[in-house]
Amino acid sequence: GLATLAGGKAQASELEPNSWEEIISYNNFYEFGTGKGDPAQHAHRLTTSPWTVTIDGMVDRPGDYKFDEIMAAMTIEERIYRFRCVEAWSMVIPWNGFELKDLLDLAGVQESAKYVAFETLYRPEEMVGQRFGTLDWPYVEGLRLDEAMHPLTLMATGIYGKTIPNQNGAPLRLVVPWKYGFKSIKSIVKITLTDKQPPTSWNKALGREYGFYSNVNPEVDHPRWSQATERRIGGGLFAKRIPTLMFNGYEKEVASLYEGMDLRRFY
């Protein structure tokens, strides 16, 4: 069954989801190439079963968790979220998945943990983009523990009620709707609880442009373009740009996480 989020204000009912075709044909997943159509073209080579997620670091029950075991333990619900790419385009996506918090609880987070580090599969024989040094593979990402435990933070395993396609990050990916899309790491094989801020791929590649936090913020520009507005995919050639919302429209839910922080400095 598809339950709805309790704090349902976040998924404002006026949000019209993008079509399945739009969501699966226009992707940034550099493990399959840098073009927006490359993932749809090459991701079919990826084997997603069997799949294991290693959860280690500061947890009570570290180990290799089989994907099927995880799915058996989780409650899948639908979340319709805005998705805002750092490149200033956006979509609305009806994800299916479970709260990251539930998975972390399964492993038992220890008191000392402050951050969560994530890692994508590294398998260049199937992920053709990994044969080029576009980024330092494997792709890594990270969240502060309170961000990871937030009820909006999702592990997605489906879209439109169907199994998530490979180009969208099968079999399970992170979705942090108030952050730029690249924070929502795909095809996760490892989750590590740590007390140090973990390195993140785009920050390593271009630290001046991509910070650890990368919260959607119309007032803090990317050095190469403005973040004040965005192009919503699906509007056609003459679509008007729309204003970008603070924290991608989830300000009420998440602003308190960053109280007192200078968001220009911690971009």
Partner 1 sequence: MIDALNTYARKVPVWVIYLIGGAYPFWLLWLGLSGGLGVDPAKAMEHALGERALQLLILGLAITPLRKLVGLNLIKFRRGIGVTAFYLVLSHLLVWLVLDVQLLDQIWADILKRPYITIGMLGFVLMIPLAITSNNWSVRRLGKQWRVLHKLTYGVSLLGGLHFVMLAKGFQWEPLLYLGSVVLLLMIRLKGIPSVRTRSRA
CB 38 within 8 A of CB 131: no
Binding segment (CB under 8 A) for partner 1, from list 29-37, 72-80, 212-220, 257-265? 29-37
Shortest Cβ 255–partner 1 spacing (Å): 26
Binding segment (CB under 8 A) for partner 1, from list 30-38, 72-80, 98-106, 155-163? 30-38
Q: Is 140 in the site for partner 1 (CB under 8 A)?
A: no
- 87 or 126, CB closer to partner 1? 87
Q: Residue 179 has what DSSP assignment?
A: B
From 193, 161, 182, 186, select the one nearest 172 (Cα to Cα): 186
Q: Is 243 in the site for partner 1 (CB under 8 A)?
A: no
Residues 88 and 93: their CA atoms lie apart, in Å, by 16
Residues 91 and 82: their CA atoms lie apart, in Å, by 6
- 21 or 64, CB closer to partner 1? 21
Shortest Cβ 42–partner 1 spacing (Å): 16
Among 239, 261, 264, 266, binds partner 1 (CB under 8 A): 239
Shortest Cβ 168–partner 1 spacing (Å): 14
The DSSP bridge pattern shows strands 52-57 and 188-194 to be parallel
* Peptide bond between residue 243 and the one before it cis (omega within 30 degrees of 0): no
- 26 or 118, CB closer to partner 1? 26
Residues 171 and 187: their CA atoms lie apart, in Å, by 6
Shortest Cβ 89–partner 1 spacing (Å): 6
Q: Is 233 in the site for partner 1 (CB under 8 A)?
A: yes
Among 17, 36, 101, 194, binds partner 1 (CB under 8 A): 36
Q: Is 208 in the site for partner 1 (CB under 8 A)?
A: no
Q: Is 133 in the site for partner 1 (CB under 8 A)?
A: yes
Residues 101 and 152: their CA atoms lie apart, in Å, by 10
- Residues in binding contact with partner 1, number by CB under 8 A: 32
Among 224, 256, 260, 262, binds partner 1 (CB under 8 A): 224
Q: Is 41 in the site for partner 1 (CB under 8 A)?
A: no
Q: Which residues make Cβ contacts (< 8 Å) with residue 39, sequence separation at least 6?
A: 27, 28, 29, 32, 33, 166, 167
CB 56 within 8 A of CB 117: no
Give the tokens for residue 19.
């079509």
Runs of H (alpha helix) within the chain: 20-25, 38-42, 67-73, 100-107, 145-148, 201-205, 251-254
Among 15, 17, 25, 246, binds partner 1 (CB under 8 A): 25
Among 16, 21, 68, 102, binds partner 1 (CB under 8 A): 21
Burial class (CB in 10 A: 0-12, 13-18, 19+), 193: buried
Q: Is 128 in the site for partner 1 (CB under 8 A)?
A: no
**Contact residues: partner 1, CB under 8 A:** 21-22, 25-26, 30, 34, 36-37, 87, 89, 132-135, 205-206, 221, 223-226, 228-229, 231, 233-234, 236-241
